[in-house]
Structure 1
């Protein structure tokens, strides 16, 4: 957050909070509505939300976790465990290990799909060059990759 005068609280608009956290404005409103973040103070004259440093710390973490694929219920669990501090360290580890394993499996699926697309491009390149033998050799590789899906 931008620094203000020493000791002065800096408030961000919803647009600034969205840009910083990577979460959309509707998502920020939704997270407030479902209680992931506490009630966000409003500017008295306009009623517009103003996000403080503590809320931004939470939103920054939630933005990172959401981009890693954690679902809302997992974000809620993370915050519950975080509130318990070190007493919940083992549970936090399990939460993150579980999602790391899930993400690793997703990456492997994406690698298989990428390999499939590369092989398809090679197949069509062989056909474009009129190389029927090369195209024929690629078919078993493609079929093997399809089996992995």
Structure 2
């Protein structure tokens, strides 16, 4: 894959150009995005993979400060894997609790749906 403009990267990731700039400015990316001779950002496949990871962490509720810390650890390279693992395991616990809570809500909704379906279903 050749590099992508910010508009193309935004389309591929489902994010806005503003968000991509913010991710870079706030230290959420692994490195500064390469620039074309014109000064325009050029995103690589590696950039897009990392942006997808950041997007997943944010979508599951990881605070910006933790995403920033995780990115800094990855940037620092080998030797801090235990800390990276700790961050991800702690986040996984939070996501699992949220998932269990939402699953409970879904079960309650399904129960109500079943009650209403029984009331409105024609009797045979």
Category of TM-score, reference length = shorter chain: 0.7 to 0.9
d(CA) in 1 for partners of 2:60, 2:12? 16
Runs of 4+ displaced beyond 6 Å: none
Give me the TM-score of the superposition, normalised by structure 2.
0.76
Aligned to 1:74: 66
The one of 88, 95, 119 equivalent to 1:103 is 95
Change (3 A) 1:127 1:56: closer
Q: Kindly indicate whether residue 5 of structure 2 is the aligned counterpart of residue 13 of structure 1.
A: yes
Identify unmatched segments of 5+ residues in structure 2: none
Q: Which has the larger radius of gyration?
A: 1
Number of corresponding residues: 120
Whole-angstrom distance in 2 between the partners of 1:85 and 1:33? 20
Extract unaligned runs of 5+ from structure 1: 3-9, 131-149
Provide Cα deviations, 1:75-116, integer angstroms capped at 9, x if missing partner: 111111112333211111110111111111111111111101
RMSD: 2.6
Structure 1 residues 108-119: aligned runs within 5 Å: 108-119=100-111
Alignment of 1:50-65 (within 5 A): 50-53=42-45, 55-65=47-57
Structure 2 counterpart of 1:41, from 9, 32, 35: 35
Bigger RCO (CA 8 Å, 6+ sep): 2
Q: TM-score w.r.t. structure 1 length?
A: 0.65
Which of 24, 40, 47 is the aligned partner of 1:32? 24
